[in-house]
Amino acid sequence: MAGIGVAGLLLPASSMVLPIGLPDLPFHLRLDALSAFFMVLLGGAAFGITVYACGYFRNMAAGPLALLALWYHLFLAGMVTVLLADDAYAFMVAWEVMALSSYFLVTTDHKIPEIRRAGFLYLLIAHIGAVSLLLTFGVLQGGHGDYTFNTMRLSEMTPFWSSAAFLLALFGFGAKAGLVPIHVWLPEAHPAAPSPVSALMSGVMLKTAIYGLLRVTFDLLKMQLGWWGTLALALGLVTALYGVIFAAVQSDMKRLLAWSSIENIGVIIAAFGLTLIFHTDGKGALAALTLTALLYHTLNHAFFKGLLFVGTGSVLHATGERRMGRLGGLIRTMPWTAWLTLIGALAIAGLPPLNGFVSEWLLLQAFLLTPGLTQPYLNMVIPVAAATVALAAALAAYVMVKFYGVIFLGQPRDPALQHAHEASWPERLGMLWLAGACILLGLFPTLVIQWLEPVVLMLTGQRLSGISNWLLLTPVSAERASYAPLIFLAGVTAVVALTYLWVRRVYHGRVRRSEPWDCGYPEQNTRMQDSAEGFGQPIRQIFEVFMRVERETPDPFDRHPHYRGDSRDKLWLLIYQPIADLTAWLSMQAARLQHGRIQWYLIYSFVTLIFLLVFTR
């Protein structure tokens, strides 16, 4: 699949009509630069995850395994078709295939009630989003009755209807991507699925929403308005900050990663908003820079989030435990998983010279170039936006230190963990592939950006000006900014090697092993280490306004003390609970009509008939 994508970037856009589907309504498929980029993302990340899945599902019983494999491949096929679809009909069918197959994948362990609940929530919000997308396409076709994307590209629309289409698309794709406040399904559904599926959903499926948003906004809609960008920027920033704060207080490792996905989607949507702002303001080169940052981050997130999710899968297999407070010290028993996951954790924390840093760097550069904007109020907003992105990035490092430190470092919090087994070879190979991608994407940014050029050119009509040298990344000009990860890595490696050799030569390498010192405290046990809740406590204290914290602290004389602390999403209580209550109340009211007696139902039919007769006459 990645092969097709690479070919697609080199060749001009090609299209194809498949004679399937309803009569007179064939599937139109088209592969252009944008689809091709997302195909490469899908193929690249899905390859590693699928290799990993071969090892992960090895011990599953044959029956469920066959079913799982069917849904897994339908899911992949659905995503590919979403990317290739060239008419609304094919797009929606593929979108539904994707949603339904992933629903069945989420509910693989359907005997657990929480997982059924998570699956239902996912299905519900996926369909609310899908309805919104249907409406988007309805608006886009502009009364022609022709649902191919080609007609939509040509149709003339007033600003009002364009805005309506954009808002519907933002809602529909936002529901898929996990934009706040329609994110509630994501931290429930992603952790519920088996780990390779979580990796696919977080790493790849969320990106189909980004693809759809780009496709509708920059390709299908003829005009773009500036305030769309401001809206998307604001929503993205709120999502990023919200996601990372909640990631910091999670105690379930997969839920933590799901919240971190929300943060990354927020960053991507913020970049999308900034692209729109630049694009509508006539700053084509800057729009190209921001779009490059957006695509780069999208690609990066597919790889490092995939890697982290499959890493937690191996931990889950080896220990049977998802709660971070029961893990610890796994770097000694599972060195392969631990070291490969470390690469993913450092990459997602945005540390040089790995890939997360490159896209963050590009985005911050874009923020620094804003003083040329014509609207003065935007100039006021943008510094605050840049500060928010920087804050989210710094918090992401906090989250990753917590994630990695509590799971893999320290001492095992449970004696059984000392017998945890290392991941199998296919699992290791899958992780190696993803980690390798994180490193290469970090070290060769100029090559990646040159390769992104057709996509950027297609969407903004501009290309980046400054790229000249494969070693030095200079998005605008060498005087403006530059970054050379290879030289950076060489510098770090050289200093580490020189220091090591010098210390060894001039002094000695003698080491004595002993018990940990710990300031001389004699009593130590493994439960005295920070638990996941403990590590997140400062963040909870600072950002308590966003969450509802439930605490159970025992009496000091309690012989069997039980501590519990839980931080819940306040938005759930503010928005979703009233809607759910209202729905339940309405259903109760409607239930009054139901008496279970045939006479009443006959009267209902009769009244309806009379009404219709009066109405249609």
Partner 1 sequence: MSAGILLQVAQTLLAILLAPLLMGWVNQCRAWLQGRSAPPITQPYRSLRKLFHKDAVIAHTASPLFRFAPYMKFACMALAAGIVPTIANDLSFSPAADVIALVGIFALARVFLALAAMDIGTPFGTLGARRDMLVSFLAEPALLMVFFTASLISQSTELPIIVATLAHKAFAIHPSLAFAAVAFWMISVAENARIPVDNPSTHLELTMIHEAMILEYSARHLALIEWAGALKLFTYSALGIALFLPWGIALQGDIAALPLALAAIVAKLAVGGAALSFMEVVSAKVRLFRVPEFLGTAFLLAVLGMLIHFLLEG
Interface characters, 519-548, with partner 1 (x: CB under 8 A): x----x-x-xxx---xx-xxx-xx------
How far apart are the C-alpha atoms of 576 and 582, rounded to whole Å? 10
What is the smallest separation between the CB atom of 360 and partner 1, expressed in angstroms?
8
How far apart are the C-alpha atoms of 290 and 214, rounded to whole Å? 13
* Interface with partner 1 in residues 310-369 (CB under 8 A): 328-329, 331-332, 342, 346, 349-352, 357, 361, 364-365, 367-368
* Interface with partner 1 in residues 359-378 (CB under 8 A): 361, 364-365, 367-368, 371
What is the smallest separation between the CB atom of 67 and partner 1, expressed in angstroms?
40
Nearer to partner 1, 111 or 512 (CB): 512
- Looking from the CA of 435 toward its CB, the CA atoms found within 13 Å total 21
Of 6, 77, 390, 432, the one binding partner 1 (CB under 8 A) is 390
DSSP of 162-224, one letter per residue?
Answer: HHHHHHHHHHHHHHHHT-TTS-TTHHHHHHHS-HHHHHHIIIIIHHHHHHHHHIIIIII-S--
Of 384, 579, 593, 598, the one binding partner 1 (CB under 8 A) is 384
Interface characters, 449-478, with partner 1 (x: CB under 8 A): -----------------------x-----x
Q: Which helix (H) or strand (E) holds 17?
A: strand 14-18
Residue 208 contacts residue 98 (beta carbons within 8 Å):
yes
What is the smallest separation between the CB atom of 541 and partner 1, expressed in angstroms?
7
DSSP code at position 16: E
What is the smallest separation between the CB atom of 488 and partner 1, expressed in angstroms?
5
Binders of partner 1: how many residues, by CB under 8 A? 81
Hey, which residues does 323 pair with through a beta bridge? 252
* Interface with partner 1 in residues 30-59 (CB under 8 A): none
What is the amino acid identity at position 203?
A: G
Nearer to partner 1, 126 or 248 (CB): 248
Nearer to partner 1, 528 or 574 (CB): 528
Nearer to partner 1, 517 or 615 (CB): 517
Residue 523 in tokens: 């009593």
* Interface with partner 1 in residues 478-507 (CB under 8 A): 478-484, 487-488, 491-492, 495-496, 499-500, 503, 506-507
What is the smallest separation between the CB atom of 457 and partner 1, expressed in angstroms?
25
If binding is defined by CB under 8 A, does position 214 make contact with partner 1? no
Residue 267 contacts residue 363 (beta carbons within 8 Å):
yes
What is the smallest separation between the CB atom of 262 and partner 1, expressed in angstroms?
18
How far apart are the C-alpha atoms of 45 and 340, rounded to whole Å? 15
What is the smallest separation between the CB atom of 400 and partner 1, expressed in angstroms?
7
Of 10, 154, 387, 573, the one binding partner 1 (CB under 8 A) is 387
* Interface with partner 1 in residues 505-524 (CB under 8 A): 506-508, 510-519, 524
What is the smallest separation between the CB atom of 158 and partner 1, expressed in angstroms?
34
What angle separates helix 206-214 from helix 284-319, to the nearest 10 degrees?
170
Nearer to partner 1, 52 or 535 (CB): 535
Residue 213 contacts residue 169 (beta carbons within 8 Å):
yes
Nearer to partner 1, 4 or 390 (CB): 390
Q: Which residue has the tokens 């689809």?
A: 35
DSSP of 532-601, one letter per residue?
Answer: HHHHHHHHHHHTGGGEEEEEE---TT-SS---EEEEEEHHIIIIIHHHHHHHHHHHHHHHTT--S-HHHH
What is the smallest separation between the CB atom of 148 and partner 1, expressed in angstroms?
44
Nearer to partner 1, 296 or 357 (CB): 357
Nearer to partner 1, 118 or 244 (CB): 244
Residue 74 in tokens: 């339908």
Residues 6+ apart with CB under 8 A from 238: 180, 266
CA torsion, ordered 324, 199, 398, 298, to nearest 10 deg: -170
What is the smallest separation between the CB atom of 295 and partner 1, expressed in angstroms?
19
* Interface with partner 1 in residues 250-269 (CB under 8 A): none
Nearer to partner 1, 81 or 290 (CB): 290
Residue 541 in tokens: 């204290």
Hey, which residues does 16 pair with through a beta bridge? 29
Q: Does residue 353 have a cis bond before it (omega within 30 degrees)?
A: yes
What is the smallest separation between the CB atom of 221 and partner 1, expressed in angstroms?
31
* Interface with partner 1 in residues 391-430 (CB under 8 A): 391, 393-395, 397-398, 400-402, 404-406, 409-411
Nearer to partner 1, 81 or 251 (CB): 251
What is the smallest separation between the CB atom of 527 and partner 1, expressed in angstroms?
10
Q: Which residue has the tokens 């998307």?
A: 232
What angle separates helix 425-443 from helix 355-368, to the nearest 10 degrees?
30
User: CA-based Rg of the chain, rounded to a whole angstrom?
Assistant: 26
